[in-house]
């Protein structure tokens, strides 16, 4: 799935509106009384740790809200950077830079942290058939930016929400009376272009999902041995996705089972922000 431009326009701009509402609201009480509004300054963003950059486009959207500026990126989203490396220079009104400093850094640091973690995990599964996926375990409102950061880190996006792919979990299956009737009910209602994924926890359920015609079979919290057996059982008749408690230490072993996808919620729900500083030089 690609994050299309209309998503960025519709959702990210609304998210930035909320960021300004909660942080600036009626005005920056300290900044607006210190300097004349036309004083210019240059802000330099610098990585304080090594990592992967993500969020330059979002930072630009934030500063553009404040008026004219000179935006000069020194790297690209997805680039690996070292501690002490300059990432971005913005020349604008000092008042404007100060007023949206925290908003820019909040986006930039979080997205770069997600991209950095994603790249670390992608490296662990290089040479295997597995593709690293994110999940819906994102901060409310930040799903588009979180998933964009995963792509910058080299991962791929799972469904954006409940609306763009049908995933049958245990409660759906119980309510429908089993995997086969649950899948049948969806196939009777959905377009043939809509993917259907079924969550399974054992080989019997995997066989039922295959019989039902599932497009993707999630292997949830299975042992490595059971996952390998499930992959062999599926034998290319559907895609397989490993899920459940996957981390940087275990992901290589999971990939070795032969699964097509590995979904990791920690990419977005337990991210450590990349430390990025923003230092100013004021023009006379």
Instruction: Using the predicted structure, report yes or no on whether residue 1 has a pLDDT greater than 50.
Output: no
Q: What is the pLDDT of residues 29-71, one digit of tens each?
A: 888 777 666 789 999 999 999 999 999 999 999 999 999 999 9
> Residue ranges of the alpha helices (H) in the chain?
5-7, 13-23, 56-64, 94-99, 101-124, 143-152, 170-176, 179-189, 203-212, 224-234, 251-255, 266-269
- How many whole angstroms separate alpha carbon 240 and alpha carbon 235? 10
As a whole number, the mean pLDDT across the chain is: 94
Do 57 and 7 form a contact (C-beta atoms < 8 A)? no
Among 26-40, 75-89, 140-154, 224-238, name the one with the lowest average pLDDT: 26-40
Could you give the strand order of the β-sheet that contains 276-282, starting from the edge strand earlier in sequence?
70-73, 86-93, 40-47, 276-282
Catalytic site positions: 102, 137, 169, 199, 220
Q: What is the pLDDT of residues 171-209, one digit of tens each?
A: 999 999 999 999 999 999 999 999 999 999 999 999 999
| Residue 34, number of CB atoms within 10 A of its CB | 11
HEC secondary structure over 61-88: HHHHCCCCCEEEECCCCCCEECCCCEEE
Q: What is the pLDDT of residues 233-249, one digit of tens each?
A: 999 999 999 999 899 99
CA angle 181, 183, 186 (to 5 degrees): 110
Element (H, E) at 119: helix 101-124
Q: What is the pLDDT of residues 79-127, one digit of tens each?
A: 999 999 999 999 999 999 999 999 999 999 999 999 999 999 999 999 9
């Amino acid at each position: 799935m690609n994050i299309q431009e209309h998503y960025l326009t519709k959702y990210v701009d609304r998210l930035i509106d909320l960021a300004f509402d909660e942080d600036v609201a009626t005005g920056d009480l300290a900044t607006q009384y210190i300097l004349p509004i036309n004083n210019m300054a240059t802000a330099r963003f610098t990585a304080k740790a090594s990592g992967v950059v993500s969020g330059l486009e979002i930072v630009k959207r934030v500063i553009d809200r404040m008026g004219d500026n000179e935006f000069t990126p020194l790297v690209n989203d997805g680039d690996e950077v070292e501690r002490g490396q300059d990432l971005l220079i913005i020349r604008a009104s000092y008042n404007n830079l100060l007023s949206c400093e925290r908003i820019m850094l909040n986006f930039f640091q979080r997205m770069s942290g997600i991209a950095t973690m994603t790249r670390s995990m992608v490296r662990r599964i290089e040479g295997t058939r597995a593709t690293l996926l994110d999940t819906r375990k994102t901060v409310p409102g930040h799903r588009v930016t979180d998933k964009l950061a995963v792509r910058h880190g080299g991962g791929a996006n799972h469904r954006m929400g409940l609306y763009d792919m049908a995933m049958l979990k245990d409660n759906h299956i119980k309510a429908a009376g089993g995997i086969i009737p649950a899948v049948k009910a969806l196939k009777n209602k959905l377009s043939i272009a809509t993917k259907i994924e079924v969550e399974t926890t054992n080989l019997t359920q995997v066989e039922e999902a295959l019989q039902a015609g599932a497009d993707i079979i999630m292997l949830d919290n299975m042992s490595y041995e059971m996952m390998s057996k499930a992959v062999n059982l599926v034998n290319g008749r559907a895609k397989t996705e490993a899920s459940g408690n996957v981390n940087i230490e275990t992901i290589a072993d999971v990939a070795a089972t032969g699964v097509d996808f590995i979904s990791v919620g920690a990419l977005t729900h337990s991210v450590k922000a990349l430390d990025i500083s923003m230092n100013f030089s004021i023009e006379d």
